[in-house]
Amino acid sequence: MKSEWFERWFGEDYIALYPHRNAAEAEKVVSLIERTIAPVKVKRALDLACGAGRHSRALCKRWWTTGLDLSEVLLRLAKREGVEAALVRGDMRILPFRDQAFDLVVNLFTSFGYFADDESHLHVVREVSRVTRSGGSFVLDFLNTTHLVNALVPYDEKKIGEQIVEQRREISADGRYVIKRICLRGEEKEFTERVRLFDPADLSAMMVAAGFTVTACLGNYDGAPLTFDSPRVVLFGTKQ
């Protein structure tokens, strides 16, 4: 059975090409979350698709945190770098947690939209709802489709260490996905990322269908309102 692109990509090559992520940015978005969900009381938080744990690190400063990711490689890196969250390997479509286990669930930095069918995306949000207590919060941080399409850079290249990395981006013919192909010049290696292009109304509808009330929709990590030019869509939902 052929594996999905995200099962192959987030491994050693990913770490080599993207060795550092912005810790200050992670602190900024978690601070925004803390301010926006107040006065909701949070004891237990889940960082869904935590990767190497940069957001988990910021969450741990505030709350007891669990990080879940499918990539064993990224979880090992998080542990090696001293991330204090409880780290769990698992698929976000089948969360290995009891009902209403968390007061807060976050899914940050476009760690959503990876699947081939929309029912799987909705199922993820339903699983989030299952593990979120009544009155708890879900924060979904996604790309702003309108901004991405208008600002898409079809090609760029950069040097990482001694490696020249070429990146090609396109919108799929049906307009449903943004596709990025990463090629290592001089090597026989190419990786593909494919993310479903949901607009804010699509994301809100999934949250409502899963039992959340959408309470805020912001456009960046400063907390500005969402506009067509906003780089992000940061949705806040309260579990009914």
- Same structural domain, 182 and 102: no
Q: Indicate whether 232 pLDDT > 80.
A: yes
- Same structural domain, 45 and 163: no
Task: Give me the percent of the chain exceeding a pLDDT of 90.
Answer: 85
Name which of 19, 29, 24, 33 is nearest 81 in CA terms.
19
Q: Quick: pLDDT tens for 58-87.
A: 999 999 999 999 999 999 999 999 999 999
Extended beta strands in the chain, E state = 44-48, 64-69, 86-89, 102-107, 132-143, 155-160, 163-171, 177-184, 189-196, 212-218, 232-239
How many domains does one find in the chain?
A: 2
Residue 51's pLDDT band (cuts 50, 70, 90): very high
pLDDT of residue 19: 61
- Same structural domain, 140 and 154: no
- Same structural domain, 151 and 234: no
Q: Which ranges constitute the DSSP H helices of 20-159? A: 23-37, 54-60, 72-80, 118-131, 145-151
pLDDT of residue 1: 52
- Same structural domain, 75 and 175: no
Q: Which domain holds residue 89?
A: 5-144+199-239
Residue 20's pLDDT band (cuts 50, 70, 90): low
- Same structural domain, 110 and 151: no
Read off the CATH number of the domain in which 137 is found. 3.40.50.150
- Report the amino acid identity of residue 168: R
Q: Residue 202 belongs to what H/E stretch?
A: helix 200-209
Least confident of 6-10, 89-93, 152-156, 210-214: 6-10
- Same structural domain, 71 and 109: yes
